[in-house]
Amino acid sequence: MLSILKQSHSSSSSSVAMPQGLDFSQALSEIEGMGGRGGSLQETRVRPLAKRRIDMHSFCSPSGFQRSPYLSARGNFAIIFQGSTEDGYRAYHADKYDEDKNPNVSKNFKVFFQLTQADMNLMDPPLLQYPDWKGHLFLREEVARFLTYYCKAPAPLKAENVIVLNGCGSLFSALATVLCDPGEAVLIATPFYGGITQSIFLYGNVKLVYVYLDSKITGKSTRPFQLTVEKLEKALQDARAEGVTVRALILLNPQNPLGDIYSLSELQDYLEFAKRHELHVIVDEIYMLSVFDESQLPTPWPSSSDFAVSGIRFGTLYTQNQDVINAVASLCYFHGVCGPVQHKVAQLLRDREWINQVYLRANHARLKAAHTYVTDELKTLGVPFLNRNAGFFVWIDFRKYLKTSTFEEELLLWKRFLDNKVLLSCGKAFECSEPGWFRIIFADKTHRLQLGK
Ligand SMILES: Cc1ncc(COP(=O)(O)O)c(C=O)c1O
């Protein structure tokens, strides 16, 4: 890793084509200016949004983009959403590390074996019929019990408040669509998991208003990238001054990419802020069971990521607002989980003893070991990072390795890692406001992590 960083410091910056940042209105008018279909999306926008705050995910890459005459403006926009993060993912899959010609045994093998047990493989006729779009009752009851237990809820949670659908990305799409009108916006602190931009925009045409956090510890903050109510207030007021209607606040807890877990008092402050301004709060707790320092365990949201089976496509919403439940349920027609998979997930969640005694123990011990390995290496290299105990990632400060403090230089460094077969995510993919921050995923076996050294 150090050799790649050193190369970066001494090399020229002219060799990489930068993906351009993309403003919604600009991109849409570019597409529409090319003729053909496409006026409708533009018309549905309530009002133009200010460029600085509502810039589209900067990894959207319209450079070299060819408008398709077969698609609407929305369809063309969906294509533009393919960016450099996709490039990294594609490069990884095209040339995946193959350990003894055995690519199928990966970090999720424990759950894989559990999911193939005889009692998991049911093909009962009712499972093959149209389900209740909210999810089969047996699964929603299981999710409610699961949440009651792991959230340490003071009273049993109810199946009627649970919706099951195919992943948290779909959930963001559905929630954005039912809580906001086209052109309205949702508050989120940066850096954040960039997929959310796509999820809330592609169907709902809903935008994000950024609450920019940075590494400086100022004012009332006590740690880098700390979210405070002052910062929330400022972002909200600025957006309103620009004529943007903000309907909700998204909180990621544990945070991706920072790994932060909010304290109870922080959460209370954020919720009071939201209540004061009549905002919905969407709390994404996809890594709840991936807190490997037990003293910090908050409340879980069962998700496929926590069980390292993202391909299963499973996520749940818990809300006491029946209007939201009913509206999201209508969209679940597009986002349902098929019956046999619902059965598998229910069996998995039901097996409390296996989750506690086998899965979580092994998972937390491995996450902790891998985290320790990566952070020890970073200490040896003299690279600063945020030392947290949740999620699968470490937020690393490579700023000193950029020749100039720009996102172009950051992208060059990212590309250099990729050329050397080390796939990291650079800060721009999370809308980080400071160039030079990178996210490394450490959730892998030590000998595989050593390859990236
Ligand atoms: C914070 C966060 N939210 C949502 C998602 C998307 O989850 P899903 O794969 O269930 O759509 C991810 C995926 O990495 C994530 O990190």
CA distances from 370 to 107, 388, 426, 442, 447 (A): 12, 13, 20, 6, 10
Give dist(CA 394, CA 159) in Å, integer.
35
Residues with CB under 6 A from ligand 1: 167-169, 193, 195, 252, 256, 284, 286, 303-305, 310, 315
Closest residue to atom 10 of ligand 1, CA basis: 167
Q: Quick one: pLDDT at residue 302?
A: 53
Closest residue to atom 4 of ligand 1, CA basis: 168
From the CA of 167, give the closest atom in ligand 1.
10
Q: Quick one: pLDDT at residue 152?
A: 86
Spatial contact of 150 and 299, defined as CB atoms under 8 Å apart: yes
Compute the C-alpha angle 273/276/279, nearest 5°.
Answer: 75
> What is the full DSSP assignment across 210-231?
EEE--S---TT--STT---HHH
Beta strands in 142-271 (DSSP E): 162-165, 185-190, 207-212, 246-252
From the CA of 252, give the closest atom in ligand 1.
1
Give dist(CA 201, CA 175) in Å, integer.
11
Going residue by residue through the chain, which has 453 residues, state the pLDDT in tens, using 9 for 90 and above: 767 776 766 654 444 433 333 445 555 555 545 444 434 443 333 333 334 344 444 455 556 677 888 888 888 877 777 655 567 777 777 776 666 654 543 444 556 777 777 788 888 899 999 889 999 999 999 999 999 998 889 999 999 999 999 999 999 999 999 999 999 999 999 999 999 999 999 889 999 999 999 999 988 889 999 999 999 999 999 999 999 999 999 999 999 999 999 999 999 999 999 999 999 999 999 998 888 876 554 444 556 677 778 888 999 999 999 999 999 999 999 999 999 999 999 999 999 999 999 999 999 999 999 999 999 999 999 999 999 989 999 999 999 999 999 999 999 999 999 998 888 999 999 999 999 999 999 998 888 888 777
Give residues with Cβ within 8 angstroms of 94, minimum separation 6: none
What domains appear along the chain, each with residue ranges and CATH number? 2-14+356-451 (3.90.1150.10), 24-82 (no CATH), 118-351 (3.40.640.10)
From the CA of 310, give the closest atom in ligand 1.
9
CA distances from 173 to 201, 286, 312, 331, 335 (A): 7, 15, 18, 9, 10
Residues linked to residue 315 through DSSP beta bridges, in sequence order: 165
Q: Any idea which residue has 């506690």 for tokens?
A: 356
Rounded to the nearest whole angstrom, what is the distance from the C-alpha of residue 351 to the centroid of ligand 1? 24
Rounded to the nearest whole angstrom, what is the distance from the C-alpha of residue 199 to the centroid of ligand 1? 10
Give dist(CA 178, CA 188) in Å, integer.
18
Tell me how crowded residue 406 is: count the other CB atoms within 10 A of its CB.
14
Beta strands in 319-399 (DSSP E): 393-397
Task: Indicate the pTM of the whole model.
Answer: 0.86
From the CA of 303, give the closest atom in ligand 1.
10
Rounded to the nearest whole angstrom, what is the distance from the C-alpha of residue 52 to the centroid of ligand 1? 26
Give dist(CA 316, CA 62) in Å, integer.
34
Rounded to the nearest whole angstrom, what is the distance from the C-alpha of residue 11 to the centroid of ligand 1? 35
Rounded to the nearest whole angstrom, what is the distance from the C-alpha of residue 316 to the centroid of ligand 1? 12
Give dist(CA 379, CA 402) in Å, integer.
19
